Amino acid sequence: MNNFFSRLLHPYGDKSGHGVIDRSFVSNHTRFIDHFLEEHPEVVKDQHKGWHIYWDKQVDLVAQKKAEMDSVPDDGYGFHRHGPTSH
């Protein structure tokens, strides 16, 4: 079975270079972004600030439960009246 997986991952054998991932390759886009972030460290600080604004929040579970209990069921459309309608 080991031979099967070896042939599956390296169909041309280990010596041809086919099926081997070059981990040292860095795309032009990655080089550009890395260079930009080195020259503009304020962008990274701004990203961290944004992360804290949107993701690092303390959740008040009691207030969340109260808001769920105080809500009105949604009809799915938002413009239909509930109850009897007059024509």
Has residue 16 got a pLDDT over 60? no
Within a domain: 62: yes
Query: How far lies 71's CA from each of 58, 65, 74, 75, 82, in Å?
Result: 22, 10, 9, 12, 14
Count of domains for the chain: 1
pLDDT in the model for residue 22: 79
Within a domain: 45: yes
Within a domain: 74: no
pLDDT in tens, 46-82: 998 888 888 878 889 999 999 888 887 777 776 766 5
pLDDT in tens, 36-48: 999 999 999 999 8
Tokens of 71: 């809500």
CA 68 to chain centre: 27
Query: How far lies 85's CA from each of 13, 76, 80, 81, 82, in Å?
Result: 76, 18, 10, 7, 8
- Residues of the domain holding 50: 25-69
pLDDT in the model for residue 59: 85
Has residue 25 got a pLDDT over 80? yes
Within a domain: 15: no
